[in-house]
Every structure is written in structure tokens, then in C-alpha cells.
Structure 1
Amino acid sequence: MLHLDLMQALLAIACGSAVGFSLALIGGGGSILAVPLLLYVVGVRDPHLAIGTSALAVSLNAFANLIPHARAGHVRWKAAFIFAATGVVGAFIGSTIGKAVNGQRLLVLFAILMIVVAVLMLRGRRGGGPDRYPLPHADPRLAGVGLGAGALSGFFGIGGGFLVVPGLMLASGMEIIHAIGTSLFAVGAFGLTAATNYAFSGLIDWPVAAAFIGGGVAGGWLGAHGAKKLAKKRGALNAIFAGMIIAVAIYMLFHSLRG
């Protein structure tokens, strides 16, 4: 897709808004719908092109959301840099492997990942107790977990916040609010690495990405305001969204395996 007609542009903006809204409203896991929306709604036909475009959108969205967390003092910068330093290596390796995998097989694996994310969302995010940062010998653990999380993020072109947040908490002992803020730096770095790798292979649809990201900014703003009003219903929202992810994953599996 070298250019967008009006309908495709509107669909990309709407889908980007939906992803940005869900991210701001429920947090981790929201960006998992970016790839299927690009494929089945916007009309990006190549799975690799959808993943590359998604990686760019996820990256910019994470960096945008990092700013208010940094201002609030929720980012542990040393941990962020250690985690991201090895994670970008993992993201490069993961995205390189992902480009080489058959597109239909990649979608089957992506659908399975979606189900895993949905299950984790249904279990809920645990607070993890008081802040114990930094735990002894945290740096090597941060580097190891970052490498693995980056590889997964790069392979699928996703944010990976559902894995990064608990990984930061486990490796360093930081409390959840700092893990969420710190994770955004890593997610942005992973996504940018994957997107750059895909861009060198011509696997980013730039007009779609621009419309998708623009919609995501607007959706994120609306979601942030909605989150305050719907905070007491967060558990129900997570359950509804997880059910939606499972439904889309089943559709992807059926569509990919049938093809």
C-alpha cells in the first residue's frame, strides 16, 4: 500500500484510536490488537508489513506515554538503560528471525501469543508488594530478562509490556508503578529497533503508520480521561477486553490455518 485512499485513511485512524484508547484505559496488552486490526480492518495484506507498521506505532506510543511517567518520577533510569541495552539486541535478533518466518505461520504464533496475553489479563496484574529496588545483583538479571523480552517484542512487533512489567519487578524488586513507568522506555526502544529493522527491508507502510499513530494519540487522550471515571470497573474492562482478544485470536487461527 504505497498510498491511502480516504476509506483506508479513516480506517487506519479509527483503528489507531481504538488501540490508543485501550492502552490508556487498561494498560498492558492493549497494543496486541494492532496487528490484526491492520490486517483485517485497514487492509494491510502482508503480515510482515503489518508487524513492521505496528512496531513503529507501538514505539512512538510508548515514548509519548513515557513523558508523564518521567515527570512524576516513576522511571528508574539505571534499570531502564540496562534492560533496554540488552533488549534492543534481542529485538534486533527477534525481528530478523520474524522477517524470515512464513507469514501465515507467524500469524498462527501471534494468535497463540494473543491467547496467552488474554489469560494473563484475566489473572490480573499483582501489585508485587513494597518497593525493594534495587535487589542485590539486580543488574545481571535485568540484562537477561531484557534480552528475552526484547527478542519476543521484536519477533512479533508488539510492545511486550505484559512481559516487561513483571520482568522488571522480578529482576530488580521495584514496585509496580515504577515498573510501569520504566517499562515504557524499554518498550519504546524495542519497538524502534524492530521498526528500523523492518524499515530496511521495506516492510513499513508509512502512510498507514502515520494515520494509525495520529489516531492513537487522539484515542490515548480519550482513554486517559475515561480511565479516571472507569477506574472502579477496571476488572470488568480487563475481562471484556481479554474476551475480545481471545475471539480475534480464534479468528486469526481459523483464517490462517484454513489458508
Structure 2
Amino acid sequence: MSILTIVAGMATGLLLGILGSGGSIITMPALMYLVGVAPKSAIAMSLGIVAVTASIAAVQHWRKGNVSVPVALVFSLFGAAGTFVGAKVGVVMPTFLQLGLFAVIMYLAAYRMLRPTQNAPVGAESVLSSANGAVVGQGLDVAKLMPIALHGVIVGSLTGMVGVGGGFLIVPALVLLSGLTMKQAVGTSLAVVSVQSMTGFAGYAGAVAMDYTLMGAFAAVAIAGGIVGGVISHRVPPAKLKKTFAVFLLVVASYIVFREILAV
């Protein structure tokens, strides 16, 4: 791998470890534009790389008590179904539509990261705590689980179609729908991302060509970054990192759009 590819792999792991998101958004363009992998193969390979990296980072957070297993199971179960279907759609979906949707998601992610954090409205805390209690085992209220399940299906479908793990959508959803703290949301998001990415990879397996040697090398570097990210996630405030990453997303998304317009 080139130096730039190694840097991209390290950045993938760091972002997953610190923010619980952002891995696929770096991995897929890196495979396409730095290594020259075909778009559909890059999508499939990025899902496999992120699945491994996120799994290891999730274990780190679980050991620190930052993974809500019941919430992760509900989100992952429905998300995996959406991801597998999305992957099958992605196999036959025109490449320019996949890349266009990928760019739109990157713009959305940048917007969410640049938007000022808003505090929950008065009275919301008790509602969120109630929802979280229902998920953890106090009755498993179906009405309170439905929004989590629905969000899982939507995010999972996007994951399968364009290779985005969806962590930047999962983290705020977990905070708002499940009442988890930010640290718990990041850890739980990693568990969900690992399951969804693995399912998406399975959906592409056998349908597109993949370089498993390159995947293994990229994943090894990303895993190292994920371990470092998991260690420093409790020590470094993510606000500045999020803003820097948002600017990076805007640049890469614009580059993808520019490339696709020139290709028309």
C-alpha cells in the first residue's frame, strides 16, 4: 500500500474508535481514488474492512461498559435485514447513482457534524430514560422499540447500497431514541456498524471482485488506528475533530460529484 493508503486506514480506525462513525466514508474513496479499485468492489471491500475494525473497537468499548447490548441487538437485527437487501440492490444499481447517493450522505454527515449540538427539551429526559428502560428489559415495550427498529432498517438499507456504515446516523438516533449517553451511543454504534457492515459484505460476496490481500492489509492498519482511537476516546474532546472531519467530507463529496459530472 502507498503511504496515503496507510494514512487513510489509520484515519478509518481512529474515527471509528473516537466517534463511532466515519470509517466507510474514508475507506471507500481511499480504495477507489488512491488504490484504483472499481466502485462496486470498493463498496464491498470497505464493508468488510469496517466490519472487522468496528468489531474490535466495539469490544474495547464493551469492556468499558459503553455498549448497550439490548439496544444493539434490536438495532442490528432490523438493520442487518435492511443491509442485506440494500446490498443486493447495490449489486445491480448503476454506479453513478451509488456514488451520487454516497456524496449526498457525505454532505448530510458533514451538516450534522457542523450543526451546533442542541440540548434535549424539558421533559425529554424522563421519556428517553423510559424508552431505554423498556429496551433493557423492563417489559420490552414494542411501541418504544419500533422507532429504533425502523431507523435500523433505513440505515441498514443505505449501508448495503452505498457501503456507508451509518455511524453518523446511528449515534444521534441512539441518543434520541434510546436515551443513551454519548459514550454509550458511540460504543453501541460500533457494535451495530460491525453487524451491518458484515451483513452488507455478505450481500456483495460472490457478486463483485474483491482483493482480499488488500483488504487484510488495510484492515490491519485500521485496527491499529481503532485501538488507539478507543484508548483516547475518553480523553480527547471530539468537537474539534468532528469539525475537521466535516470539512474533509465536504471536500471529498465535492470531488466525487465533480468526477462523476466529468464522466458523463
TM-score normalised according to structure 1 size: 0.86
Contact 1:127-1:176 within 8 A present in 2 as well? no
1:32 alignment partner in structure 2: 25
AA of the residue aligned to 1:155? M
2:73 alignment partner in structure 1: 81
Q: Structure 1 CA distance, aligned partners of 2:55 and 2:101?
A: 27
2:258 alignment partner in structure 1: 254
Structure 1, gaps ≥5 residues long: 1-7
Residues 99-131 of structure 1 show CA distances to partners (whole Å, capped at 9, x for unaligned) of 111112211221121111111111255675856
Q: Structure 2 CA distance, aligned partners of 1:211 and 1:10?
A: 12
1:65-104 equivalences in 2 (<5 Å): 65-104=57-96
Q: CA deviation at 1:98?
A: 1.2
1:186-205 equivalences in 2 (<5 Å): 186-205=192-211
Q: CA deviation at 1:171?
A: 2.8
2:239 pairs with 1:240: no
Q: CA deviation at 1:83?
A: 1.4
Aligned residues with identical type, % of pairs: 33
Q: CA deviation at 1:12?
A: 4.0
Q: CA deviation at 1:30?
A: 4.3
Contact 2:24-2:163 within 8 A present in 1 as well? no
Q: Secondary structure at the match of 2:165?
A: coil
AA of the residue aligned to 2:133? P
1:1-259 equivalences in 2 (<5 Å): 8=1, 12-44=5-37, 46-123=38-115, 132=129, 133-134=132-133, 136=141, 137-224=143-230, 231-232=236-237, 234-259=238-263
Q: CA deviation at 1:138?
A: 1.9
Q: Secondary structure at the match of 1:200?
A: coil
Structure 2, gaps ≥5 residues long: 135-140
- With 153-162 and 21-30 compared, the bigger mean Cα shift is at 21-30
Q: Secondary structure at the match of 2:21?
A: coil
Rate the CA distance shift 1:20–1:251 in 2: closer, same or farther, 3 A: same
Q: Structure 1 CA distance, aligned partners of 2:202 and 2:166?
A: 17
Residues 150-205 of structure 1 show CA distances to partners (whole Å, capped at 9, x for unaligned) of 11111111211111122223333333322222222211111001101111213432
Rate the CA distance shift 1:196–1:237 in 2: closer, same or farther, 3 A: same
Q: Secondary structure at the match of 2:133?
A: coil
Contact 1:154-1:194 within 8 A present in 2 as well? yes
Q: Secondary structure at the match of 1:63?
A: helix
Rate the CA distance shift 1:139–1:203 in 2: closer, same or farther, 3 A: farther
Contact 1:47-1:104 within 8 A present in 2 as well? no
RMSD of equivalent CA atoms = 2.3
Rate the CA distance shift 1:172–1:14 in 2: closer, same or farther, 3 A: closer
Q: Structure 2 CA distance, aligned partners of 1:77 and 1:220?
A: 20
Q: CA deviation at 1:143?
A: 1.7
Q: Secondary structure at the match of 1:117?
A: helix
Contact 1:13-1:214 within 8 A present in 2 as well? no
Rate the CA distance shift 1:10–1:236 in 2: closer, same or farther, 3 A: closer
Q: Structure 2 CA distance, aligned partners of 1:49 and 1:209?
A: 11
Q: Secondary structure at the match of 1:134?
A: helix
Q: Secondary structure at the match of 2:208?
A: coil
Rate the CA distance shift 1:152–1:223 in 2: closer, same or farther, 3 A: same
